[in-house]
Amino acid sequence: MTTYLNNYKNPLYHTNYTDYYNSVVRVSNSQSYGTGALLYDGRSVLTAAHVFEGYDTDNIVVYFDTATGTQAYNATIQVYDGYDSTNSNGDLAILTLEENPSEFYERYDIYRESIVSGQEFTMVGYGAYGSGSSGEILDATDILKLKTSNTFESDFYDIYSAASTNLAWEPLEDAVLAADFDSAYSVNDAFGNILGLDDLGLGYEEGMIAAGDSGGPAFVDDKIAGVASYTASISADNVSTDSNYVVDSSFGEVGAWQSVSYYQEWIDKTIRDGYVNAPTSKEEVQTSVTETDDGVSYAYFLLEFLGDRESIADNITCSYTTRDGTATAGEDYISISGTITLYSDESAVALAVEIIGDTNIEGDETFYMDVTDPSYGSFADDALTISAVRTIVDDDFMVG
């Protein structure tokens, strides 16, 4: 990941396996690598489709950083069915890990609102490093996970539509977020020169994606808002803002991220399709789950809409959060919270909670799921919150 300072070793840009970004992972197609991020279900990794295009998808490996090296997981792949490599639209894939990583690692929710111009973000990835003035270091040998910041100033479709540009590809409207690499000088301000969106950058925090960052997350409010896709050197009226006229993540270039909110329905439904034995009706709901000796199992909650769906074509959303009973989040289960969406063709949706296995003798324990703020309709008896409880059945015993 190319950064503003010449010294990429500056702690400003570094991550640690114990910090919030410990579930930004390296993904390998057996010959090269990209970046990905672990999603809210604890087993799915969101990344870019082009990282695996043309490679043997039977040999995908995902690497998590640990205190002593890396932990490798084999994975299968689901590519977005509308992926258009020619125009770099729908450049998304979800990798499903063979098993859930430890509860030590973060699970990331996705950003569901539309990104507005001027929204700052943090990008994290395993890509090449260097400086904005010289571009990425092509012969770099260290594998580093770096973070830096930038600002989503535009949509790539706006660049495509500008009369002064002539893109060789056609980005979808609202689907590809764009940020330029500012040097604090107007000569390198791509969007200022092309679209009149004057912004000289974030100073030392400004950065740009580089080779190897493909698939890496862009975080807004600690949620994944974009997935790194490509960089480009763009000219307007035959005038380029690129500092060295080479596509190498140097000052004046533009980066593209696939908009997660645009593709959120595919992301959610792909994850839901991967749930094992999830209930689809209230008759199938299990109110208890047996704890395993190690690893992770799932407890499911089912949210149903019982009204007349014909009167609404839009999606329905609710807020949700888990809550301790006698079970403790982080020890017995992994807490989750966020927004759940029932899409226009859905009347019920499962919420999955990871149960942490252990060999401690602790008895049966309980935890709750609270749901609030429906965007349409109301809860029974006009309640403000609906709650359900699950029991974690202890399978550990001692013979005396």
Domains, the chain, ordered by start: 2-265 (2.40.10.120), 279-393 (2.60.40.2030)
Q: pLDDT tens across 148-184, in order?
A: 999 999 999 999 988 677 788 999 999 999 999 999 9
C-alpha span between 79 and 299 (Å, rounded): 27
User: Using 50, 70 and 90 to split pLDDT, how confident is the model at 399?
Assistant: very low
Contact status, residue 91 vs residue 277, Cβ threshold 8 Å = no
Q: pLDDT tens across 276-334, in order?
A: 999 999 999 999 998 877 778 999 999 998 877 777 778 999 999 999 999 999 999 99
What pLDDT score does 357 carry?
A: 86
C-alpha span between 380 and 383 (Å, rounded): 6
What pLDDT score does 291 carry?
A: 80
Q: pLDDT tens across 332-368, in order?
A: 999 999 999 999 999 999 999 999 987 676 789 999 9
What pLDDT score does 45 carry?
A: 98
Beta bridge partners of 204: none
Half-sphere exposure of 42 (CA within 13 A, CB side): 23
What pLDDT score does 1 carry?
A: 80
User: Using 50, 70 and 90 to split pLDDT, how confident is the model at 5?
Assistant: low
Stretch 3-30: mean pLDDT, rounded?
Answer: 88
C-alpha span between 246 and 229 (Å, rounded): 18
Strand, helix or coil for residue 270: helix
What pLDDT score does 400 carry?
A: 39
C-alpha span between 159 and 165 (Å, rounded): 7
